[in-house]
A and B are shown apart, each in its own frame.
Chain A
């Protein structure tokens, strides 16, 4: 293991910051820090080596393929990173006068316009910092809408195939969660929905295509039933990469949605953020959007503090994760309308191609075709005692990141694969061969698969011990 920072011995002499005014820091003793800060003073070369060594222990998009279902690990264009580094974007204070921020505001405005066109929604807030933050925002909007209408609606329907953040966000927004069972093929049935639908249901949260990569065939019926009941439709944009220019969520009945810019719009995941989760609504919900937002008035961009009576308030400090918004805007401009559609089409083709390479070698959980991702079930295809987890770990040995596993929860031994459009046919061929090889290994040399990974910096880690005797700091 690379030493932990506080175990490294080195010394620094040089000053990092100097003071050109007289030092004058005496303060009353009662306000003074007494405890010692146990952080070593390291010299720059040691520090650089330390973090460079750590970087070598990471799988990343820049060194391998991530078949992570639902995460849309597509290529992060370098030019977008370059643009985000312009100091005329980065070195800006949020409380500068509006007239000095016109460039940033225009970027935000341009992205909002594009998101409206792609989704069919009337307006977006760019404030939410991640997908789950967007869900929470959307649910608060729904809550305030019914409050304004004077209707008491306390429930949200969440399919059992949904991402865990859906129910968690709905709970945070004060709703009770009703689980909707999906059909054997993973889709939702309008019939089953109407059986559980009551007058106090505020909305249904749906991911389309769903987490099995299947387009909801009964979406029109579902939308009709929900709206007849006075309920709203929430679109979880996690899988928007399947349908840009192909289907618009607003056109097929959705009223509120969020988009993950760090998925569909190519901004990097950064090892777990920053993300951005813009929330779009139809015209009748516009007043409920969080504040502040950027609007255009008389050829100038300005900050709008929203409708005080209806707005849900503020979701985070300031306007949103600007560099993420900036990179997403650059992505939209680079691809254009046609390119965005091509991206989704290719994402669907790549997934179907890979699915067909694997058919017969492993169980496909749903249907003959898929949208941008598909779910496999390794049950019955692997050697004795070999589990999906083992296959995932063995993939690491072959240099690939693992697919999303054990999700969605409705598929046993699930393996969820989303290749994205930015991978080549050659790569997909190679990946399929490796996966098939691992399935063979599981039957011929199961111990090898069960022992995986062995080619990584560490072998399988003891997670039980980590949780039972937590060691969370030095």
Chain B
């Protein structure tokens, strides 16, 4: 297959019109002969039927559709059928970036609605159209803070998702004199103590980055941490889980300047971690400094309302090296899935989602922590849909045993950080049924 709709006869006419006898003659007008490539060593193409067979055989080498109790940044949430149906409309997925506004009102209005709902959930003023993922969204937020404040230090919580920390390090690695300061969580409560932040924060700190619920699932005292940050005239960057915002404080409530995070939880399949989307919302004052595309509402020549990409003088196609970011293509279709998901759930659905996640996680936590050989790592901590338990059992065996039962068990934290030997992190979303949780507990008991 090559998807070329030109017949041999057409080709002859086209060559003739182009004034050449064959394609090589045409190419020779442009490319010196000595630069031409040898024949590609890639096997012959195959038919659609064979292609489906081949990719089915790859798919069969995976173990997918497991009953998932693993999170750590990517979560197995329920995706309503409506989401895939809508984003599967080819008018959306085969469209280009909406630069020609009059021909792209569908995509533009959807982005406007997405931005509005992200603002509603985060309690902040302005959202962009999306970034690549949660990790790059945090990195872009850090760059934004450095740009605006002209200060050179950034404090980041060590309980920020480790993948995000790595990406922030990469993104800041070539900036001169920038210092990233990691602050540790209290090992007892799993959250950042007031004293820790107070002792590290100084005048030259551009921003403080805190994730809540943090990597270990613990809800941080964002009010307090934000307050300390503000007293120091630094920006507060809040990394949040959208699925928790139906019940947990909105970043705007504790005066965050920037809220960012991973959008996969809203309507996107896990796909081994990507593609997903990153969201970013900011206070009005930071609007012009924000990276990425933004859609605005305006009117046409006849006064009819419509939508355009706006504040474009921030962007690289206008400002080149002086742009707020180099981002161009982002994650439009993924954020559109998020848009349809939010619209489908509505206010009530989002609140229920949060309530059910916390309820199921608590149900599982109560049962798991009662099993012999399992004990909670963080005491009296408020968690959302993830919790950490230490075990005396063989972690490797436990994982294998669960896999035999088609269960993707909790994440062995040692895999991420050697400090957490024998610690297991469970994620329990609304998708896990009581029966699945009970079954998990029974198997854990038997190990």
Contact = CB atoms under 8 A, between A and B. Distances in A.
Contact of B132 (A48, A130, A252, A322): A130
B409 to A, nearest CB: 10
A42 B45 contact: no
A55 B331 CA distance: 18
Given A47-B344, A271-B95, A25 B269 contact: no
Nearest to A347: B4
Interface string A74-116: 1111010111001111111111110011111011000000100
Contacts of A82: 52
Interface string A152-168: 00000000000111011
A173 B321 CA distance: 11
Given A55-B92, A171-B321, A33 B272 contact: no
A168 B323 contact: yes
Contacts of B272: 89, 92-94, 96, 101, 104, 318-319, 322
Contact of B65 (A2, A87, A337): A87
B275 interface: yes
A297 interface: no
Given A96-B66, A164-B320, A129 B90 contact: no
A299 B400 CA distance: 22
A461 B296 CA distance: 11
B1 A271 contact: no
A87 B64 contact: yes
Contacts of B161: 317
B365 to A, nearest CB: 10
A274 B268 CA distance: 12
A346 B296 CA distance: 39
A273 B269 contact: no
Nearest to B30: A215
Nearest to B165: A314
Contact of A396 (B15, B76, B103, B317): B103
A16 B297 contact: no
Interface residues of A, number: 199
A383 interface: no
B347 A36 contact: yes
Contacts of B23: 345, 348-349
Given A58-B95, A60-B90, A340 B298 contact: no
Interface stretch (B123-131, B181-189, B196-204, B227-235): B123-131
A313 B86 contact: no
A21 B112 contact: no
A60 B96 CA distance: 7
A369 B18 contact: yes
A30 B316 CA distance: 42
Contacts of B273: 93-94, 317-319, 322
B285 interface: no
Q: How large is the interface on B (under 10, 10 to 19, 20 to 34, 35 or more residues)?
A: 35 or more
Interface in B312-349: 312-313, 315-323, 325-334, 336, 340, 342-349
A280 interface: no
Interface string B31-47: 11011110111111110
B102 to A, nearest CB: 4
Contacts of A93: 66, 68, 70, 74, 76, 270, 272-273, 408
B137 to A, nearest CB: 10
B358 interface: yes
A266 B1 CA distance: 13
A92 B271 contact: yes
A455 to B, nearest CB: 9
A246 B36 contact: yes
A5 B118 CA distance: 13
Interface in A26-50: 27-28, 30-42, 44, 47-48, 50
Given A165-B316, A168-B323, A246-B36, A174 B102 contact: no
A170 to B, nearest CB: 7
B373 interface: no
A71 B345 CA distance: 35
A444 to B, nearest CB: 22
Interface string B258-270: 0000100000011
A463 B298 contact: yes
Given A42-B346, A314-B166, A474-B116, A32 B173 contact: no
Contacts of B336: 270-271
B299 A461 contact: yes
A165 B44 CA distance: 35
B174 A174 contact: yes
A117 B323 contact: no
Contacts of A34: 249, 253
Contact of A369 (B26, B44, B297): B26
B31 A215 contact: yes
B164 to A, nearest CB: 7
B265 to A, nearest CB: 13
Nearest to A370: B30
B14 A89 contact: no
A278 interface: no
B64 A461 contact: no
Contact of B17 (A16, A246, A356): A356
Given A337-B43, A357-B17, A52 B89 contact: yes
Interface stretch (A62-70, A192-200, A435-443): A62-70
A61 B316 CA distance: 25
B275 A324 contact: yes
Contacts of B143: 172
Interface stretch (A131-139, A226-234, A281-289): A131-139
B363 interface: yes
Contact of B328 (A33, A56, A130): A130
A355 B275 CA distance: 37
Interface in B139-174: 143, 161, 163-164, 166-167, 169-171, 173-174
A307 interface: no
B103 A133 contact: no
A66 B94 CA distance: 11
A273 B37 contact: no
A422 B295 contact: no
Contacts of B132: 129-130, 133, 273-274, 316
B6 A346 contact: yes
A462 B305 CA distance: 10
B169 A97 contact: no
A246 B37 CA distance: 5
A430 B129 CA distance: 35
Interface string A462-474: 1101110011111
Given A33-B253, A61-B95, A209-B30, A402 B334 contact: no
B401 to A, nearest CB: 13
B6 A47 contact: no
B56 interface: yes
Contacts of B59: 86, 88-89, 103
Given A24-B362, A336-B44, 9 more contacts: A19-B356, A27-B247, A60-B94, A89-B271, A172-B174, A247-B37, A369-B29, A467-B310, A470-B126
9 contacts: A20-B435, A25-B359, A79-B48, A103-B61, A168-B319, A269-B96, A272-B98, A356-B17, A463-B101
